[in-house]
Amino acid sequence: METVKLYGAWPSPYSCRVIWALKLKGIPFEYIEEDLYNKSPQLLQYNPVYNKIPVLVHGGRPICESMVILEYLDEKWPQQPLLPTDPYERAEARFWVKFAEDKGLSIRMIYRTEGEKQEKARRDALEMLTILEEHGLNGKKKFFGGDNINIVDIAFGWIAHWMGVIEEITGVKLVEGNKFPLLKAWMHNFKEVSLINENLPNREKMVAFFRTRRSLILSAAWHPDFGFISRR
């Protein structure tokens, strides 16, 4: 069998998605930890378009973008399927995956900004969570995938573990009190899955890491995508 390598970073939810999928399917892989402040030449060579992790390299050939990687894994290793078989259900699953990708940005923006911009991001995030609660989770069983997790649960995994870290660092609370009961239940169930539970980055380490990174971002000396830049 051709070797599978994953270039990832321990604090990244995108990196974790791929780890969860690989472990769910029982695919042996070699993990290479990337220093996000000092990216390796191999990473830059394998992902020239974005220079980002995660990158999966299978038999020497790179695949970039976490959700593209997951669909690839599902096609090459059909056991423990991530997507349903019915085309309409697959379209529905992909819809929520895209929603997780597009709307998840608002929560990242809470973390990356302050003041008015952060307030707008907070409103966008609440709107997103409301849609998820009312349209995405309404009528669902334990998980988006039914009794077991599927690609949609994995795509929203960052809400279960990373959103709380952002709330703590920024002081901006999103899921509090009696709000979003379905989402709270899903988050709890998701983290109880042993595969997930055993493959989550340490919370204290994450708080320290993201707190430092946020100061860097806000100091405008550094951009998470482009590295060190000078303000115009």
List contacts with other proteins (CB under 8 A): 49, 58, 61, 63-65, 68-69, 71-72, 75-76, 87-88, 90-91, 94-95, 98-99, 131, 135
Residue nearer to other proteins on the CB measure, 6 or 69? 69
Q: How many CA atoms lie within 13 A of 35 on its CB side?
A: 4
C-alpha span between 18 and 20 (Å, rounded): 5
Calculate the alpha carbon distances from 208 to 146, 167, 193, 214, 222 in Å. Answer: 35, 13, 25, 10, 18
Task: State which residue, 75 or 192, has the beta carbon closest to other proteins.
Answer: 75
Least distance from other proteins to the Cβ atom of residue 231, Å: 14
Residue with tokens 């109880």: 192
Burial 150-182 (b: 16+ CB within 10 A, else e): bbbbbbbbbbbbbbbbbbebbebebbeeeebee
**153 vs 170, which CB is nearer to other proteins?**
153
Least distance (Å) between residue 56 CB and other proteins: 9
Residue nearer to other proteins on the CB measure, 135 or 188: 135
Please state the closest distance from residue 225 (CB atom) to other proteins, in A: 12
Shortest distance in whole angstroms from residue 207 CB to other proteins: 30
Per-residue tokens: 69: 């990687």
Residue closer to other proteins (CB basis): 173 or 223: 223
Beta bridge partners, 64, equal: 55
Nearest Cα to Cα of residue 132 among 174, 179, 167, 96: 96
Minimal distance, residue 186 CB to other proteins, in Å: 17
